[in-house]
Amino acid sequence: MGILKILLIFILCSFLKPSIQSDLETYIVHVESPENQISSQSLLMDLESYYLSFLPKSTSAISSSGDEEAASMIYSYHNVMKGFAARLTAAQVKEMEKKHGFVSAQKQRILSLHTTHTPRFLGLQQNMGLWKDSNFGKGVIIGVLDTGILPDHPSFSDVGMPPPPAKWKGVCESNFTTKCNKKLIGARSYQLGSGSPIDDNGHGTHTAGTAAGAFVKGANVFGNANGTAVGVAPLAHIAVYKVCSSDGGCSESDILAAMDAAIDDGVDILSISLGGSTKPFHDDGIALGTYSAAERGIFVSAAAGNSGPSLGTVANEAPWILTVGASTHDRKLKAAVKLGNSEEFEGESAYHPKTSNSTFFALYDAGKNESDQFGAPFCSPGSLSDPAIKGKIVLCLRSRSLLKVDQGQSVKDAGGVGMILINEQEEGVTKSAEAHVLPALDVSNADGEKILAYMNSSSNPVASITFHGTVIGDKNAPIVASFSSRGPSVASPGILKPDIIGPGVNVLAAWPTSVDDNKNTKSTFNIISGTSMSCPHLSGVAALLKSAHPDWSAAAIKSAIMTTADTLNLANSPILDERLISADLFAIGAGHVNPSRASDPGLIYDTPFEDYVPYLCGLNYTNREVGKVLQRKVNCSEVKSIPEEQLNYPSFSIRLGSTPQTYTRTVTNVGDAKSSYMVEIVSPKGVVVKVEPSALNFSTLNQKLTYQATFSKTTNVSTTIDVEGFLKWNSNRHSVRSPIAVRVSAE
């Protein structure tokens, strides 16, 4: 999440009277559709009145002060779900449960944020290719759910922008009525947004700029990464929905209200760089809200989460969402530390001194010398008190719970002249280039151990830190970021997640304030990391594809992105993970986005929206649980349910025992009208994959053909293992690739 402070808040949103302990908490309440519950005469009753009928008219709930507390509605939802958000006591919820038509009430969750050069790394260039074919995303509206926006930033200038499409119904609230323009066409704020869409965090400005920022020359941080900053879809419009507070907490009720409004406003893309831990889709606010958005043709791009590299951590994994993991790009902000024994180690940093300085300073190990052994090894604020720090370079361990800049400030406050941040072991080679307040760099855990070993072996350990600025051309790029959440999906193991990876490490984009200590600069850009950063890259790519192919469905756009993804890095070797070994499918999904190829995929897997009903029934949800997602009554016993793996998805995620399994897929021809495709199969180890037919012959555009893939185990295994392969449909001009992940069960 870069330099953003993310608080994992597990308490519920609550507005307290002064000196009174309130029992009210925010609940998301699901009810049955009114036409199922009330008479034809009462159908004239509007939804809000119907929802209000569920709130207790009087209550015996008494606060600790002796005052009666009244239930109150916060939001009335009409698109994302049948239900509302309300401030209720536990006793009031119990009373509500007795009412006819009540489905469920859950305390809302507080979710967290998943937090220039990248368009060129993605192959986007002016006046050619996809940027030219899509006219830079012209006419597409991207809705960004985040911490707000700084409207006066040059990234949101509307020079050269067309007016918004006639379908646009959104508004600019509050003090934004004069701030909006043809680029920033909508701005709304919700409860945690404190009444104004202004971004007092930075995250929302950064994600909006990444997705659709205008061309801005001279963008840099401390002179690093200097160049023209631009979003992926620079002529797309932006609508901002502020659902997160300055500390990074995002309430579920606000998120649902924002999606509700975005659907009515007319957005084409929803970009969601936030989320929580995995939950069943019927209990997941983001899954529920985005289902309704997708049903109306809105493309949804969401961050996979920053809980990697542990398996089974991926979030936002519903199949109607493009789930985006994070990877590096080929630009490094290189720094180096040289030890007194002449050993030198490479790191990264956005700090850049005004003058070069290779002076050696004594080293200080905060974890060894300080009395506070809880906070000191991490150089947490207030933990460093040893006077011996003055004039030394301090070694600090990285911590996911601390801002790296705050660690540097702690060292600076204690009199240190520099800082070496040592990665956690699981972070591998994923390094963070921060805009530090003193000379500092981030090094790998392996290199950090060598530096510590030198310190322990020397009576006078010294080091110098030098800064080499921007270096382009890392042939190992893209590398999967250590923090990028991994599959398999817990909510739906039969759908491979994440779907795709994109640039999410050390991304430069718009920022509300200057982070540069040079008072003569006007730089208002920052470099941060997270799947929050990769998500808007894919939102921008989707906008380009939507503009180039206005007749494509959201599922078609997703398929095009996935089946054309790169699986090799710039060195033409398999994409690596943070350990510098081949990344598995639970890390990269279909691979790294290739926007230009995605615009001409040849074939697409267009998932019919009605297929989600048998899919949801196949997840063994109850009728009521499926009904919560669909917003209508359903009887799964009357629905021909399908296994998850049968959904017409561009990838395969199979759980295989002794019985062979067969699944069908239907592809639509969007390439050459008359074309023939032959199948190419690389079977996972110990598995045979057979595809019938082995050739697909198309005679017209938009023609659909179906094939069957049968998976059989060839060898017995003593323990459950994960293996992978792929199948690919090749014509003389196109290659349409579907990854195959197989979890082979022991006998």
Active-site positions read 146, 203, 532
In the block, residue with structure tokens 């007319």? 266
Q: What is the DSSP letter of 559?
A: H
Which run of H or of E encompasses 526? strand 525-528
For residue 273, give the amino acid letter.
S
In the block, residue with structure tokens 């002449």? 342
For residue 49, give the amino acid letter.
S
Return the exposure string of 406-417: e unless at least 16 CB atoms fall within 10 Å of the residue's CB, then b.
bbbbbbbebebb
For residue 7, give the amino acid letter.
L
| Listed residue (209, 116, 201) closest to 154, CA to CA | 209
Cβ partners under 8 Å of residue 436, min gap 6 = 349, 350, 351, 404, 405, 408, 419
Residue 135's region, left for phi above 0, alpha for psi from -120 to 50, else beta, is left
Give dist(CA 291, CA 90) in Å, integer.
29
Compute φ and ψ for 642, nearest 5 degrees. Answer: -125, 155
Q: CA 410 → CA 66, 133, 434, distances in Å?
A: 46, 50, 15
Give dist(CA 172, CA 689) in Å, integer.
54
Compute φ and ψ for 36, nearest 5 degrees. Answer: -85, -15
Give dist(CA 361, CA 340) in Å, integer.
9
Q: CA 144 → CA 44, 187, 272, 320, distances in Å?
A: 35, 10, 6, 17
- Rg for the chain (alpha carbons), in Å? 27
- What residue ranges in 166-215 does DSSP mark as E strands? 184-189
Give dist(CA 747, CA 728) in Å, integer.
30
- Assess contact for 140 and 546: CB atoms under 8 A: yes
Compute φ and ψ for 682, nearest 5 degrees. Answer: -115, 105
Q: What is the 3-state composition of the chain as percent helix, strand, coil, each rounded to the nearest 5? A: 25, 30, 50
Count of CB atoms situated within 10 Å of the CB of 388 = 12
DSSP 403-441: -HHHHHHHHHHTT-SEEEEEPPGGGTT-------SSSEE
- Assess contact for 514 and 524: CB atoms under 8 A: yes
Count of CB atoms situated within 10 Å of the CB of 35 = 11
* Structure tokens given for 432: 């963070």
- What residue ranges in 6-109 does DSSP mark as E strands? 25-31, 72-77, 83-88, 102-107
Question: Distance between the two ends of the chain, CA-based, in angstroms?
Answer: 42
Which run of H or of E encompasses 345? strand 344-348
Q: How many residues does the chain have?
A: 747
- Assess contact for 498 and 534: CB atoms under 8 A: no
| Listed residue (305, 298, 304, 258) closest to 144, CA to CA | 258
What is the CA 101 to chain-centroid distance, rounded?
35
Alpha-carbon torsion, ordered 241, 246, 247, 252, to 10 deg: -20
Could you tell me the strand order of the sheet in which 274-275 lies?
Answer: 249-251, 110-113, 274-275
* Structure tokens given for 180: 């909006």
